[in-house]
Structure 1
Amino acid sequence: MSSATPLQEAGTGKKPVPRRLGAPAWARRVALPFGSFLLFLVLWQLLAASGTWSSTLVPPPADVWDAFVEVSTTHDGVRGYNGTYLVEHLGISLRRIAFGAGLGIATGVVFGLLMGTVGWMRSLFEPWITFLRTLPPLAYFSLLVIWLGINEEPKVTLLAVAAFPPVAVSTTTAVAAVPRGLVEAARALGASRWDVVKDVLVPSALPETLTGVRLAVGVAYSSLVAAELVNGLPGIGGMVKDAANYNNTPVVLVGIIAIGVSGLVIDGLLLRLERTVVPWRGRV
């Protein structure tokens, strides 16, 4: 077996043989999260078994698993939680997020394009959007309930208002940062104002807009429990709030984990969409 280095092999005309430097990348990507999850479970079990806090405050993982089984099946004649399975609670909340965040994202993209291209509109609306972005959802949810009642309207509106500012701000910034040379070149070639927006501004702003969409979905998720504080059952946030009223910590944790896992899945889908729509990002 030759002991020549790759540099020596290149000098003698031999093709260097690639050497493996450890486990494949995909194995590390799977092993590291799985290992951190196991470590988290071990620490959780040790903390619950230590007796520092009562099981009502820190239930062991086994109790949370039992609660997950109970809210996911018909147990002792009771269907899920409050007559609804966990997956149904989650599906109803996801539908609210889809409507609310979808409306907020669409409005944010339109306002971002307008504010990025029309100077007076940015001066007019940007302070209001910044004001709205700094407000916590609970600050105006009670007002929405007074205006819209306790049915679906205030929940969807809250999620839309929460999702709107990140998309509007990111789109505005991206459009304003488009090089003027590209716009002037398009106009010199006879492009109309709409053509400039469609063929120059939107493609250039798309990567930052998609980042704003991811942020908007995250903000909508963080506002979910607040949106379902009033008449939120069925719904995963309403389930968490109702269980907290009865100190049912295992069900609260089941709901939190369901929100977090579904959020990870949706964020992964948005990342895949971003790689598909703007494959050049990070390569140029």
Structure 2
Amino acid sequence: MISIGATRTGTRPVEFGKADSTGSPRGLRRIAVRAGSLAGLLLLWWAASAAKVVDQQFLPTPGAVWRAFVRANSWHELAPGVPREVRGEQNYFLWEHLLASLQRIGLGAGAAVILGPLAGFGLGTSRTLAAIVEPYLNFLRALPPLGYIGLLIVWFGIGDTSKIWLLFLAAFPPVVIATMTGVHGVSADRINSARSLGANRRQVITRILLPATLPEVIGGIRVAVGFAWTTVVAAELDNGIPGIGGLAYLAGQRLDTALTLACVIVIGLTALALDAVIKRIGDLAVPWKGKA
């Protein structure tokens, strides 16, 4: 039998939806375009700062930001002419600040990634439970983190507990809602067909609901982790050292714009890396997504 898309001459069938590999001409072209865009942005930044279009207090040069990054990751003099050396910024290297923030994200958003799908499945399969809980869930989702960080500090103090709770509350609703959306998107005919073939409730959940919902869950996790990472600065406003968000906030208060920009760039690159890792895990976990 000849498969659809194949020919009698043995020509390979066209595979729609298959991503270009990094080594393919199209993939290399895409990388070149992105590299050129980055180079152009850096050149424009350097030209604007060198021409003093904007005061360097507000827009330091790329070199100044790089020096602030290096300084934050090395031992250096406390002040010119002062022989005493200090360690990074606030007695921590920049990578240690980043690691502290990642640990908080891992605990707060990690708990949301574990508990969110469980709650989403419960709400998605029970209309009564959803009718009770969903309004409160949407209320929590609509609240900006800065709106209740003060309340969490009152309840849990200024230590890591309040920060972890804030990151959990920021990440939990997107995962739950994405899971509910995935459950509601499963065709009733598929569930009824499985039941007519003798599948019990556990088999319906594990063989039908879970595989069909998993792409939505992965998407919700990507949104949740990204939102939690954008909340890290708010989480580290008080007693956030060590922490990359706390360092960025403190540097801004000191008008150290170069260090602030260095922290912002590190925060942004870390967010891209986290999203890429989650996306890759999702591709491995749901290889059937997007395939006919």
Q: TM-score, normalised by structure 2?
A: 0.88
For residue 191 of structure 2, what is the aligned residue in structure 1? 183
In the other structure, the counterpart of 1:10 is none
Extract unaligned runs of 5+ from structure 2. Answer: 1-8, 12-23, 78-84
Give the count of matched residue pairs.
Answer: 265
Say which of 106, 109, 115 aligns to 1:101.
109
Is 1:86 the equivalent of 2:94?
Answer: yes
Deviation at 1:26, TM superposition (A): 2.3
Q: Please tell me the residue identity of whatever aligns with 1:95.
A: Q
1:105·1:160 contact (CA, 8 Å) conserved in 2? no
The correspondence of residues 85-234 of structure 1 with structure 2, limited to 5 A, is 85-234=93-242
User: Could you tell me how far 1:32 is from its partner in structure 2?
Assistant: 1.4
Match of 1:37 in 2: 38
CA distance in 1, matches of 2:63, 2:219: 38
What does residue 64 of structure 2 align with?
63
* Cα displacement string for residues 103-127 of structure 1 (whole angstroms, at most 9, x for unaligned residues): 1222221111011100111111111
CA contact (8 A) 1:174 1:204 kept: yes
Question: Aligned to 1:158, what secondary structure does the other structure show?
Answer: helix
Bigger shift: residues 40-49 or 94-103:
40-49
Deviates further, 190-199 or 169-178:
190-199
Secondary structure, aligned partner of 1:75: strand
Q: Cα offset for 1:191?
A: 2.2
Greater percentage in helix: 1
Deviation string 1:99-149 (CA, Å, 9 cap, x unpaired) is 100112222211110111001111111111111111110001000000000
1:59: how far off?
Answer: 0.4
Find the aligned partners of 1:122 and 1:105 in 2 and give their Cα distance: 19
Q: CA RMSD in A?
A: 1.5
Q: 2:26 is matched with which residue?
A: 25
Deviations 1:21-76 (A, max 9, x none): xx802211211111111011011112212323221111010100000100011122
1:188 & 1:176 partners in 2: Cα distance?
A: 20
Deviation at 1:79, TM superposition (A): 0.8
Whole-angstrom CA distance in 2 between matches of 1:28 and 1:214:
27
Gaps of 5+ in 1: 1-12, 16-22
Matched, 1:247 2:248: no
User: What percentage of residue pairs aligned between the two structures are identical?
Assistant: 41
Shift of 1:194: 2.0
SS in 2 for 1:282: coil
Distance 2:166 2:113 in 1: 13
